[in-house]
Structure 1
Amino acid sequence: MKTSTNMGYTKRTQKDYSLSFKLQVVEEIEPGQLDRLSAHLKYGIQARSTITSWLHKYGTFDWENLSVVTMAKTPEQKIIELEAKVKLLEKQKARAEYLAERADKKVIIFDMLVNMAEKEYDIQIRKNYRPELLKTSKKNKRKQ
Structure 2
Amino acid sequence: MKKYVKRTQKDYSLTLKLQVVKEIESGELSTKAAQRKYGIQARSTVMNWLRKYGSFDWENQTPSNMPKTPEQKVMELEAKVKLLEKQKKLLEHQVAQADKKSIIFDMMISLAEKEYSIPIRKNSLPEQSTSTENDTKKA
Residue 114 of structure 2 is matched in structure 1 by 119
* Deviation, structure 1 residue 140: 7.4
TM-score of the aligned structures, taking structure 1 as reference length? 0.52
Select the structure of larger CA radius of gyration. Answer: 1
Secondary structure of the equivalent of 2:68?
coil
Which residue of structure 1 aligns with residue 130 of structure 2? 136
> What CA deviation, in whole Å up to 9, does each residue of 1:74-125 have, x standing for no partner?
1110110000000011011111111111111111011011011011101121
Q: CA 1:93/1:114 → structure 2, altered by over 3 Å: closer, same or farther?
A: same
Percent identity over paired residues: 47
Q: Quote the Cα distance in structure 2 between the aligned partners of 1:82 and 1:108.
A: 39
Task: Tell me the matched-pair count.
Answer: 103
Answer yes or no: is 1:40 the counterpart of 2:9.
yes
The residue number in structure 2 matching 1:93 is: 88
Amino acid at match of 2:34: H
Deviations 1:10-40 (A, max 9, x none): xxxx6474xxxx5xx7xxxxxxxxxxxxx33
**Cα gap change, 1:93 to 1:69, in 2 (>3 Å):** closer
User: Could you tell me which residue of structure 1 aligns to residue 98 of structure 2?
Assistant: 103
5+ residue gaps, structure 1, are 1-13, 26-38
2:34 aligned partner: 56
CA RMSD of aligned residues (A): 4.1
1: CA distance, partners of 2:70 / 2:122: 61
Unpaired stretches in structure 2, ≥5 consecutive residues: 21-28, 37-42, 47-53, 56-62
Which amino acid in 1 is paired with 2:113?
Answer: E
**2-side partners of 1:57 and 1:123: how far apart?**
79
Q: Secondary structure at the match of 2:118?
A: coil
Spell out, residue by residue over 1:32-85, the C-alpha distance to the aligned partner (whole angstroms, 9 max, x if none): xxxxxxx333xxx5x6449x59862536x8xxxx98882211111011000000
Runs of 4+ with deviation above 3 angstroms: 14-17, 47-50, 52-55, 66-69, 137-143
Which structure has more relative contact order (CA 8 Å, sep 6+)? It is 2
State how far apart, in whole Å, the 2-side matches of 1:133 and 1:104 are.
Answer: 32
- Aligned counterpart, 1:70: 65
